[in-house]
Amino acid sequence: MNAAARVKELKEQLAHHDHRYYTLDSPEISDASYDALMRELKKLEAEHPGLVTPDSPTQRVSGTPLDKFEKVTHRQQMMSLANALDEQEFIDFDERVRKGLGADAVDYTCEPKMDGLAIELVYEAGDFVQGSTRGDGVIGEDVTVNLRTVKNLPLKLTGEGLPRLLEVRGEVFIRKGDFTRMNERLVAQGEEPFVNPRNSAAGSLRQLDPKITAARPLSLFVYEVGVVDGKRFASHRQKLEWMKEVGLPVNPRRYDTQGVAGVKEAWEDLLRQRHELPYEIDGLVVKVDDLDARARLGQVSRSPRWAVAWKFPPEEMEATVEDIQVQVGRTGAITPVAWLEPVFVGGVTVSRATLHNEQELRRKDVRIGDQVFVRRAGDVIPEIVKVITSKRTGKEREFVFPTECPICGSKVKKEEDGAIARCTGKHCPAKLAGRIRHFATRTAMDIEGLGEKLCEALVDSGKVKTVADLFSLEVGELMTLERMGEKSAQNLVDAIARSKATTLRRFIYALGIPEVGEATAKALAEQFRDVKKLMAASIEDLQAVRDVGPEMANAIHGYFEDPDNRAVVEALLGAGVNPEPPEAPAAGTFTGKTVVLTGTLASMSREAAKEEIERRGGKVSGSVSKKTDFVVAGEEAGSKLKKAQELGVKVLTEAEFQALLS
């Protein structure tokens, strides 16, 4: 074969594998084989420069830094979407649509609202020739060279009879996993991490040096077409399917629905899955499916009448820092906390946000009086993302980190890496209150009604000196506490008594042994089956337990060496606490098997899938190795799926997994 033919073949093969890898998330060859093809192409191109074409996969990064971006006038305006902020606003939208069309029920196609940056791509007879930002909708900026570096953007479309001119619209974004890895890399290099995926995607695309953009893990989804010459579509769904066919990355997550009820179901479903999706979204885009109907509805100012963005509750909001105080946790760790003017974020009202530790506080430079962005995503603790420095007035005050514990006055000692500062007081009431609170928590002893404030009151009044003292509390003495009536005192005493019948895993977790979380507590309970045996275990015995490493084994051993801790456990058992050992695991479908979950499962959450596997005797692991028995691959499975294929590990589709469960 001559060089020209081989180059053509290599280009086609590499484009095919890029598509399999970046768009379909289903690679056919290993990284090494891919690299070999790429090397061969580079070598041939170096020997025959005349064979280098712009659509070659070697040319994704090309050109020198620009002085500025050229302006691009969009052939057709890039519109923006009107928002629906609640159900009523969506009902109103639907009513306008139905009225406009004289229809009873409308077919809607719903898509996740990607939280990225809108772009337009122009293809001529299948070749990618230009890409631009949305700009003001009429004029954008030419970011062609930067867009070429986006790995799942096809430089050439596939198939016959491609339109002479095709404009597609979509969104450039950064996946959550890529974002975390990128930030870890930046921090390791001593650079400032990015605040969120959206900002970093926008910033990356608008780099004048395409090499910088190429180093950023940008992704693309397309969702609309603009001008198209030589192709007609009847519906949005048809258009999406066609874009997929010619190799463009279309989000596989889509709801084909009808009417308000159908859309509402889709909205609720997507909201439930929001945090499990591999990218950030801020709502559901609802579009009239029929394109003739769209034409009849038209647009108002810059938004179409045929689509709306039904937003999710915001996860980031502006707030004022009214004060900064420190909290002392059960391990003595001192955490600075920002007290905020209450804001509604992530679906709840938030008035405090963690600042994690002194380093974080300094890095973010949060001051009392600052305007900040607060974020609360899912069940995670609200945190401050960034100070809005442009809103500083000069009246803000810096927080002085204490050198003494604000509760007991003992010295504060910083750990070696400098991140965590701890109170050194052995009898610090804050630590004790924290330990009691942890003991009572839902996933530990589950003592209803024993909240933070009450724990503090019990410690301050001297009624409780160790968690074992809880079991001798009486109604009468509880009633001497502030705001404690007879009824609530009785309820608390009952709740404490009920907690005596518990499981060994809960009991071990409740003790608050350093390093021991719920999973380790479970493993320890299964291994030792009796707390006395756990107390007597040597470091070697402990290390033999699944997932227990040397550091953790030392921590557990050290905990039980302390006579005070042993006395507390004895006192708890003496008070009638009766931790039930776990049932011997029943033989099940997954007995003795290690399973890795990857991608998004449509039918259940990852947590639920994990529980199902564990109930059937299996173990769920986070990474794929030769020891993995199965990989369950959901939608958009990525590198783990690839690794499984490389190692020859059995891959189950969601349907196959479901079949094994039932």
Q: Which is nearer to ligand IVH, 107 or 224 (CB)?
A: 224
Q: Write down the catalytic residue from 113, 156, 311, 364.
A: 113
The answer to whether 113 and 56 have CB atoms below 8 angstroms apart is no
We find the least distance from the C-beta atom of residue 89 to ligand IVH, in angstroms, to be 15
φ, ψ of residue 343 to 5 degrees: the values are -135, 155
Residue nearest to ligand IVH (CB): 118
Which of 10, 220, 285, 525 binds ligand IVH (CB under 6 A)? It is: 285
Which of 18, 45, 111, 383 binds ligand IVH (CB under 6 A)? It is: 111
We find the least distance from the C-beta atom of residue 616 to ligand IVH, in angstroms, to be 38
Query: Is 113 assigned a catalytic role?
Result: yes
Distance of CA 561 to the CA centre of its chain: 39
Stretch that binds ligand IVH, among 110-118, 401-409, 541-549, 632-640 (CB under 6 A): 110-118
Interaction with ligand IVH in 56-95: which residues (CB under 6 A)? Answer: 79-81
Calpha distance 201→217 (Å, rounded): 9
Determine the size of the site formed for ligand IVH (CB under 6 A): 15
Helix (H), strand (E), coil (C) string for 170-191: EEEEECHHHHHHHHHHHHHCCC
Q: Which is nearer to ligand IVH, 64 or 301 (CB)?
A: 301
Calpha distance 423→484 (Å, rounded): 30
We find the least distance from the C-beta atom of residue 180 to ligand IVH, in angstroms, to be 22
Amino acid at 608: A
Q: Which is nearer to ligand IVH, 252 or 402 (CB)?
A: 252
Interaction with ligand IVH in 157-216: which residues (CB under 6 A)? Answer: 171
Stretch that binds ligand IVH, among 107-115, 416-424, 542-550, 624-632 (CB under 6 A): 107-115
Interaction with ligand IVH in 20-59: which residues (CB under 6 A)? Answer: none
Query: Interface with ligand IVH includes 333 (CB under 6 A)?
Result: no
Q: Which is nearer to ligand IVH, 250 or 510 (CB)?
A: 250
Amino acid at 629: D
φ, ψ of residue 649 to 5 degrees: the values are -80, 140
Q: Which is nearer to ligand IVH, 143 or 478 (CB)?
A: 143
We find the least distance from the C-beta atom of residue 299 to ligand IVH, in angstroms, to be 8
We find the least distance from the C-beta atom of residue 294 to ligand IVH, in angstroms, to be 10
Calpha distance 496→447 (Å, rounded): 6
Which of 14, 72, 118, 328 binds ligand IVH (CB under 6 A)? It is: 118
Query: Interface with ligand IVH includes 307 (CB under 6 A)?
Result: yes
Residue of 579, 464, 452 lying closest to 511 (CA atoms)? 579
> What would the two tokens of residue 374 be?
């607060």
Chain position carrying tokens 């005050």: 397
We find the least distance from the C-beta atom of residue 198 to ligand IVH, in angstroms, to be 10
Q: What contacts 436, CB < 8 A, 6 or more positions away? A: 450, 455, 458, 459, 464, 467, 470
Chain position carrying tokens 């070429």: 148
Q: Which is nearer to ligand IVH, 303 or 589 (CB)?
A: 303
What DSSP state is assigned to residue 381?
A: P
> What would the two tokens of residue 270 be?
């997507």
Interaction with ligand IVH in 230-269: which residues (CB under 6 A)? Answer: none
The answer to whether 631 and 598 have CB atoms below 8 angstroms apart is yes
Pairing of strands 82-84, 307-311: parallel
Q: Which is nearer to ligand IVH, 178 or 282 (CB)?
A: 282
Q: What contacts 225, CB < 8 A, 6 or more positions away? A: 166, 167, 168, 169, 233, 239, 243
User: Residue 300 pairs with which residues in a beta bridge?
Assistant: 303
CA atoms within 13 Å, Cβ hemisphere of 250: 21
To which H or E segment does residue 359 belong?
helix 358-364
Amino acid at 133: T
Neighbours of 49 (CB within 10 A): 7
Q: Which is nearer to ligand IVH, 112 or 634 (CB)?
A: 112
We find the least distance from the C-beta atom of residue 114 to ligand IVH, in angstroms, to be 4
Q: How many helices (H) and strands (E) does the chain have?
A: 24, 26
We find the least distance from the C-beta atom of residue 585 to ligand IVH, in angstroms, to be 45
Query: Interface with ligand IVH includes 224 (CB under 6 A)?
Result: yes
We find the least distance from the C-beta atom of residue 272 to ligand IVH, in angstroms, to be 19
Sign of CA pseudo-dihedral 24, 29, 30, 36: negative
Calpha distance 231→236 (Å, rounded): 13
Q: Which is nearer to ligand IVH, 139 or 368 (CB)?
A: 139
Q: Which is nearer to ligand IVH, 79 or 412 (CB)?
A: 79
We find the least distance from the C-beta atom of residue 268 to ligand IVH, in angstroms, to be 18
Stretch that binds ligand IVH, among 113-121, 324-332, 367-375, 503-511 (CB under 6 A): 113-121
- Each residue 120-139 as x (binds ligand IVH by CB under 6 A) or -, in order, gives --------------x-----
Query: Interface with ligand IVH includes 289 (CB under 6 A)?
Result: no
Query: Interface with ligand IVH includes 304 (CB under 6 A)?
Result: yes
Stretch that binds ligand IVH, among 106-114, 374-382, 392-400, 444-452 (CB under 6 A): 106-114
Calpha distance 477→527 (Å, rounded): 40
Calpha distance 399→387 (Å, rounded): 14
Please list the active-site residues. Answer: 113
By the criterion CB under 6 A, which residues form the site for ligand IVH? 79-81, 111, 113-114, 118, 134, 171, 223-224, 285, 304, 307, 309
